[in-house]
């Protein structure tokens, strides 16, 4: 009991402190709700928003974009990172393009992709996949390169095939680094989806932000939407941690 209280208490205190500071700033500055609504105003709008059914369809749209984009981006990044780590030629040929693509802000790229592929699930998933790809590929590359060469020599002395080397030694040895990349990737996927939704379209939490700020001019709704996005990020991050634990227990 005491142990459980010790684990829950510090984050509770931090949360209460955060809410109190927020409310204090609103009181001291005497800001109107359309500039900075207080936490209780936002909480109220959050609840009424759910009751009115505003969030559901937007949230589902954003989740499906993240699901498709993250899966495709990470799935492409895993083998790419491996090849970059193991082939010096691939590293020399591909790395400049990867870095250049990463240096171009996704905010600048998103309208172009919307121009080519429309404003539907396809173009939004492509943007999410692009955002996820780079950090995952780089962390896979670093993790594979960091594997103890002595373990690989040990495996070679038992005549492992290339496939066995990858599945029995390299992937389990690199797993912590790979999962670290996936954790970064999933949080960036949320950012990518919101940015993609700003380029247009009817549905999505990013669209809802634009609506709340623009035609609806409902700033508490904007803050409530930000809360939904933050909770979504935490939930997705948590599910990556869960998958990580499952995989670690199996190997």
Partner 1 sequence: MSDAPPPAPAVSGATPLEAPVPPDAATFAAPDACAIRLAGLQFAFPVDGQTVPVLGGIDLEVERRSVIALVGPNGCGKSTLLRVIAGLLPSAGGIVEVEGRPVSGPDARVGLVFQEPRLLPWRSAVANVAFPLEVAGLDRTAREARARDLLGLVGLRDWAGARPGELSGGMRQRLAIARALALEPSVLLLDEPFSALDALTRERFNVELLRLWERIGSTIVLVTHSIPEAVFLADRVIVLSPRPATVAADIVVELPRPRRMADLDAVILSRTAAEIRARLGGATDDAFAVATGEVGRHDEPDAVVA
Query: What is the binding site for partner 1 (CB under 8 A)?
Result: 150-151, 153-160, 164, 168-169, 172-173, 175, 248, 251
Contact present, 177 and 146 (Cβ < 8 Å): yes
Instruction: State the residue for tokens 């095939």.
Output: 161
Total residues found in the chain within this entry = 251
Name which of 90 and 155 has its Cβ closer to partner 1: 155
**Could you give the CA distance from residue 74 to residue 69 in angstroms, rounded to a whole number?**
8
CB of 238 vs partner 1, minimal distance in Å: 23
* 3-state SS class at 87: coil
5-20 residues labelled b (16+ CB within 10 A) or e (exposed) = eeeeeeeeeeeeeeee
Q: How many CB atoms lie within 10 A of CB 39?
A: 17
CB of 139 to partner 1, least distance (A): 18
Could you tell me the smallest distance in angstroms from the CB atom of residue 159 to partner 1? 5
Closest by alpha carbon to 226, among 69, 55, 73, 95? 55
CB of 175 or CB of 191, closer to partner 1 = 175
Pick 169 or 190: Cβ nearer partner 1: 169
**CB of residue 163 to partner 1, shortest distance in Å:** 11
Question: Measuring CA to CA, how many Å separate 186 from each of 25, 131, 249?
Answer: 32, 9, 21
- Cβ distance to partner 1 smaller for residue 13 or 154: 154
Closest to partner 1 by CB, 2 vs 159, is 159
Residue 157 beta carbon to partner 1: minimum distance, rounded to whole angstroms: 5
């Amino acid at each position: 009991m005491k142990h459980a209280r010790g684990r829950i208490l510090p984050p509770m205190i931090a949360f209460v402190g955060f809410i109190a500071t927020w409310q204090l700033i609103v009181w001291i500055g005497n800001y109107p709700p359309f500039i900075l609504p207080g936490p209780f105003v936002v909480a109220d709008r959050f609840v009424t928003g759910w009751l009115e059914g505003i969030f559901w369809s937007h949230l589902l749209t954003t989740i499906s974009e993240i699901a498709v984009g993250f899966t495709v981006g990470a799935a492409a990044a895993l083998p790419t990172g491996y090849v970059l780590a193991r082939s010096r030629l691939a590293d020399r040929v591909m790395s400049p393009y990867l870095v250049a693509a990463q240096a171009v802000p996704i905010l600048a790229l998103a309208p172009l992709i919307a121009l080519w592929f429309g404003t539907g699930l396809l173009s939004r998933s492509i943007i999410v996949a692009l955002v996820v790809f780079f950090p995952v590929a780089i962390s896979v590359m670093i993790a594979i390169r960091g594997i103890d060469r002595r373990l690989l020599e040990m495996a070679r002395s038992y005549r492992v095939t290339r496939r066995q080397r990858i599945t029995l030694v390299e992937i389990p040895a690199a797993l912590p680094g790979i999962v670290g990349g996936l954790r970064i990737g999933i949080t960036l996927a949320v950012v990518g989806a919101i940015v993609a939704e700003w380029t247009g379209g009817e549905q999505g939490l990013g669209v809802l932000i634009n609506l709340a700020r623009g035609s609806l001019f409902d700033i508490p709704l904007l803050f409530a939407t930000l809360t939904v996005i933050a909770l979504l990020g935490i939930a997705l991050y948590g599910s990556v941690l869960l998958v990580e634990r499952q995989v670690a227990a199996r190997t």
